[in-house]
Chains A and B, each alone.
Chain A
Amino acid sequence: EAQLVESGGGLVQPGGSLRLSCAASIFTFSDHFMDWVRQAPGKGLEWVARSRNKVNSYTREYAASVKGRFTISRDDSKNSLYLQMNSLQIEDTALYYCVRVQGGGDSFALDLWGQGTMVTVSS
């Protein structure tokens, strides 16, 4: 069964950095766009970033709230997705999900989610 497993979360001070990883298995990772979505404690879902696939030149999109601070990347040879988070702020505290994107054009949907990795930004 296809799965995504995140790692790398933890406690970090404001202004610090953290790198999240996501290991994909049992599907052709390189074919898919991949997202990071986060959820602050007790709150709703917030889309963070997207990595397109090789066919789409690995281009990236970011939410305004993280643009310039976060970098999404991928290594198709390792079936892995990453999120480098710099200049972390208290409001970045959330459970971060790695998510597979299905579809194309304007009919994308997020069809496979990891279990999430918690990031806590606190002094």
Chain B
Amino acid sequence: DIQMTQSPSTLSASVGDRVTITCRASQSISTSLAWYQQKPGRAPDLLIYRSSSVQIGVPSRFSGSGSETEFTLTISSLEPEDSATYYCQQQRSYPPTFGGGTKVEV
């Protein structure tokens, strides 16, 4: 199985800060990576697919980049409603594994 490692596991930042979350794959996954946001008590929402494509309806402050084994999710200017846990997931091979999550506190 491909292992997905996210860092940091928790992050505290202020409104307006630029925030970057990293996801590393244990082997190359090309750009087959998605990012999800999960708020407490709610199902996850898709933010980014194919490493850098922003899902319809997602605010423009969210962006993704990377390929092969290194990926980043960037929030350009943190808003209070961005408090959530963020997960990456590879879709290159089965099983489609998730990272362990990054909890962002605003």
Partner-B contacts on A (CB < 8 A): 44-47, 50, 61, 63-64, 97, 102-103, 106-111, 113-116
Contact = CB atoms under 8 A, between A and B. Distances in A.
A102 B50 CA distance: 11
Main secondary structure of the interface of B (DSSP, over half): loop
Contacts of B98: 44-47
Given A102-B49, A107-B31, A111-B46, A64 B100 contact: no
Interface residues of B, number: 26
Contacts, number: 67
Contact of B34 (A46, A50, A64, A110): A110
B78 to A, nearest CB: 22
Given A107-B32, A107-B49, A111-B46, A44 B100 contact: yes
